[in-house]
Amino acid sequence: MGAGGDGRPVRDNFLKGTRDKLKNIGSVKDDLTVLRHMWFGSKKGDDHAARLESFYGPQATAYDAFRSRFLWGRKPMLAACAARLAERSNLIWVDLGGGTGENVDMMAQYIDLSKFKAIYVVDLCHSLCEVAKLKAKAKGWKNVHVVEADACQFAPPGGQATLITFSYSLTMIPPFHSVIDQAISYLSPEGLFGVADFYVSGKYDLPMRQQSWSRRFFWRSVFDIDNIDIGPERRAYLEQKLERVWEQNSQGSIPYVPWLRAPYYVWLGRHPTVGHALHEEKVERPPMFPPTFLYTQSWEDPEPDMERIPSSWSRVRRAIRFRSPAHNLVDMGQRHVLA
């Protein structure tokens, strides 16, 4: 009871609880709107822009809240990019298929947005671009430019970008060869290329990516309903054109869909450089692989290990030498020259 015995605390708690319930009801209603258009919505239109608008238009205002519990690769990708750009300034960022501009808001958690001279959020869907413009205005982002355009034809005004990202958008662009080529054409020499998306592996793929045939068939069929192609071809093409810096392969939950976990990956690349490994030295061990998996993937020199392993442990020494392909090639070359 209040000091005057009028019961105000009870009333205030009741009103707060009512507001929370209404908010939760509104959130569920928004989620159901998104799910209805994801599962039963039609993708009609004479071109790709019209099909995107028919799919995303009705759910544009509810887009961010639902995707935050679905697109699990966005934050790891943005954090990994920010960590590699932290010491730079006057950056140019092009977010292709940037939708509502939510990636910009997330990036602010990892790096000061003032480090970016300009940020271009590029999307072909009119409704999502309108949401992004309202968000940029509300947040006071003076360096953020929302561009309604085809990513296959867009190029930043300055001609170069320090960071280019595809956040769950590359799988929705049918001419992926064209959009990747176009993006790489304006990636600066020291620039970074980041991708986060759903995926299925190839039939024969790297162990850290490999999936069973049933998993590949199921998830590719599910996403194909929404014109999303999660096959391995896009990442394979990226690795033909760029040098892989880092990647992560994982799986994430889906709202209102118990037990199922959708596979996703995060991939960072750069222009090929002479004298560097094709990826950073650290290789993450896939689930269920033994700790010695590192030696099967890293081209590292085993000689430092030899110095610390007693000579009496001959089997261990032979195993490490056998598991190091780089050392084997160099050693065989030396023997051939000496012979």
Structure tokens at 5: 């015995």
Question: In 3-state terms, what secondary structure has residue 260?
Answer: strand
**DSSP, residue by residue, 103-159:** HHHHHTTTS-GGGEEEEEEEES-HHHHHHHHHHHHHHT-TTEEEEES-TTT---TTS
Per-residue model confidence as pLDDT tens for the chain (339 residues): 444 455 555 444 443 444 444 344 446 655 555 555 555 555 565 566 666 665 555 555 556 666 767 789 999 999 999 999 999 999 999 999 998 899 999 999 999 999 999 999 999 888 889 999 999 999 999 999 999 999 999 999 988 999 999 999 999 998 999 999 999 999 999 999 999 999 999 999 999 999 999 999 999 998 988 788 999 999 999 999 999 999 999 999 887 788 889 999 999 999 998 655 555 544 455 555 544 444 444 445 556 555 655 666 665 555 545 544 444 444 544 444 444
**DSSP, residue by residue, 269-311:** EE---TTS-SS-S--PPPTT--TTHHHHH-----HHHHHHS-T
pLDDT for 291 equals 47
Residue in the structure block whose two tokens are 């392993």: 309
User: What CA–CA distance (Å, rounded) separates 258 from 194?
Assistant: 30
Phi-psi region for residue 271, left (φ > 0), alpha (ψ -120 to 50) or beta?
beta
The residue among 48, 127, 141 whose CA lies nearest residue 93 is 141
List of long-range contacts for 37-41, beta carbons under 8 Å, 24+ apart: 38/226, 39/225
User: What CA–CA distance (Å, rounded) separates 150 from 50?
Assistant: 12
| Separation in Å, CA 270 to CA 8, 78, 105, 162, 277 | 62, 15, 24, 10, 12
User: What CA–CA distance (Å, rounded) separates 85 from 113?
Assistant: 12
User: What CA–CA distance (Å, rounded) separates 198 from 65?
Assistant: 19
Query: What is the dotted CATH code of the domain comprising 63-270?
Result: 3.40.50.150
Task: List b or e across 261-277, with b for residues whose CB sees 16 or more CB atoms inside 10 angstroms.
Answer: ebbbbbbbbbeeeeeee
| Separation in Å, CA 313 to CA 252, 292, 307, 308, 321 | 43, 17, 12, 11, 13
pLDDT for 308 equals 59
Structure tokens at 222: 């599910």
**DSSP, residue by residue, 152-209:** TT---TTS-EEEEEEES-GGG-S-HHHHHHHHHHTEEEEEEEEEEEE----SS--TTT
C-beta separation of 103 from 167 below 8 A: yes
**DSSP, residue by residue, 227-246:** T----THHHHHHHHHSEEEE
| Separation in Å, CA 151 to CA 48, 113, 118, 162, 172 | 12, 23, 17, 17, 11
Query: Which secondary-structure segment (H or E) carries 259?
Result: strand 257-270
| C-beta atoms surrounding 88 within 10 Å | 14
Q: For the chain, which residues make up each domain, given as ranges?
A: 1-40, 63-270, 299-338
User: What CA–CA distance (Å, rounded) separates 315 from 311?
Assistant: 10
pLDDT for 70 equals 75
User: What CA–CA distance (Å, rounded) separates 97 from 128?
Assistant: 10
pLDDT for 127 equals 86
User: What CA–CA distance (Å, rounded) separates 301 from 295?
Assistant: 10
